[in-house]
Amino acid sequence: MKTRKIIFLLWIVFGMLQSAFAQKFSASLSIDTNQIEIGDWVTAHVEFKVPKFKGAEKKYQIVELGQQVELVRTLPEKIDTYPNLAVYHQRFVVSAYDSGVFQVGPFMVTLNDGRKNDTAITNYLPLYVSTVPVDTTQAIKPINTILDVPYVWKEFVYWYAAGAVLLALLIALYFLWKWYTKKKPEEGKRPPLKVPLYVWVRGELKKLEEEKLWQKDEVKQYYSRLTDIVRMYLEYRYNWNAMEATTEEIALQVGKYDVNDIAKDLLLGILRNADLVKFAKVKPAPDTNMLCIKNAYDFVEMTKPAEQKQEDKK
């Protein structure tokens, strides 16, 4: 007897579960009014119920099949959840721009749970669209003249602000253009030296020696000053923008001038040692520091003008 009761209860439970799983979802359509005037809006409400059971998240798509009215916009969805049921609400704002009887819907709802698609089709509803009532007993009135509306200063605030921003932008662009196109000093237009070039460069090298920068552990400043002196000598000696050139550019171009291979090696040795100090943070030995300034003296001696050599012989 007890076994029969258990079997009977299991049969009832199995039937309920089978009914729940087999239940198809349904959809319905309603509208907030079925009578409007031309151009008015009406809200169509699509509602469909989906049984809840363990499984993948459901996704749906709604398509209007009737398409006799114009879709104005789609409103946000709303979902009501219950223990065994989910009720989806989707609203559409529609309108009609002619008089007559129009059909709203039906809508087709396609539901996908990750494994299969189910489809439901709503009912459809009539929508009565009327024209604006006109009193034909009255005489036709002439078209009104253009209204004279006074200007309000607030209407021009945005234009004034936009004009001010545009003017500021144009001024900024002008000064930027002036700065960008500003001519660099022409070659040969450097300020004249107060003393002969040979005297000036030896004097600068002598002052650098007396400052004893590398002995004070100011190695980077020492090589920066040394290369500036050498580059400036090249500028005045050969009328060449050596201050703006890289070491490799100088290596390629120095051969165009009256510089022999020994002098060229002395010059490039100074510049490349300086690059190692400034960019690779190498700290040369004291002998290297003294050799570089000695090579600078020798480079100047080897490349000084012929008239200066004649004067030194006297």
The CA distance from 270 to 293, in Å, is: 8
Residue type for 191, please?
A: P
Q: How confident is the model at residue 8 (pLDDT cuts 50, 70, 90)?
A: very low
CB 83 within 8 A of CB 76: no
Quick one: pLDDT at residue 119? 85
pLDDT in tens, 208-259: 999 999 999 999 999 999 999 999 999 888 888 888 889 999 988 888 887 8
Does 314 have pLDDT greater than 60? Answer: no
Question: If pLDDT is split at 50, 70 and 90, which confidence band does 309 have?
Answer: low
pTM of the model: 0.42
pLDDT tens digit sequence for 33-61: 989 988 899 999 999 887 765 544 567 88
Report DSSP state, residue 236: H
pLDDT in tens, 128-172: 998 877 777 777 778 877 777 676 666 677 778 888 889 999 999
Domain locations in the chain as residue ranges: 23-130, 197-313
Q: Is 39 left (phi over 0), alpha (psi -120 to 50) or beta?
A: left
| Domain 23-130 fold | Immunoglobulin-like (2.60.40)
